[in-house]
Amino acid sequence: MTVSPVSPAAAGSASRDLSRARTALAEAREADDHLIRYSSAHVAALRVAAAVLAVRARPVRSGARRRVQRNAWVLLSEVAPEFGEWASFFAAGATQRAAAEAGLERAVTTREANDLVRAAETFYDLVESSLNLTTQPVLPRASDPQSVLAQPWMQAS
């Protein structure tokens, strides 16, 4: 199977989504409240799915008939079948996440929250390695823009 190169825009979007997922995972790990931990882990997983969709999904031309809306988990299964089981797993937790966000104490247990954090971390690692996004090194900023021109090799002979 050949993989087509990722456009810079898609790579940038995916990188931002992964960065946001890392932030949500950090919040989930640090949260004392199991409801926040569960919700943050689920949000992290959604952001990881968004990174895959940014790279793999293609826009659909709108026709005369309106398309049925599909959620991120359905789209993920379609564009990246290798993550289909992950999509089903996280889709099944969407109702619990909504209940946790509503503050319903019985929505999830502490163990379920901890398990979801570990699952989201594993999902993140799998997606990050599968996307294989190359990152460009950040060039250091020169403190003095004239400093390059002052170098001896830049002087006219």
Tens-digit pLDDT profile for the chain (157 aa)?
A: 344 566 777 788 899 999 999 999 999 999 999 999 999 999 999 999 999 999 988 766 666 555 666 799 999 999 999 999 999 999 999 999 999 999 999 999 999 999 999 999 999 999 999 988 754 444 445 455 555 555 555 555 5
d(CA 45, CA 76): 11
Question: Which one-letter amino acid corresponds to residue 4?
Answer: S
What whole-number distance in Å separates Cα of residue 97 and Cα of residue 107?
A: 8
C-alpha 130/C-alpha 25 separation (Å) is 19
pTM: 0.76
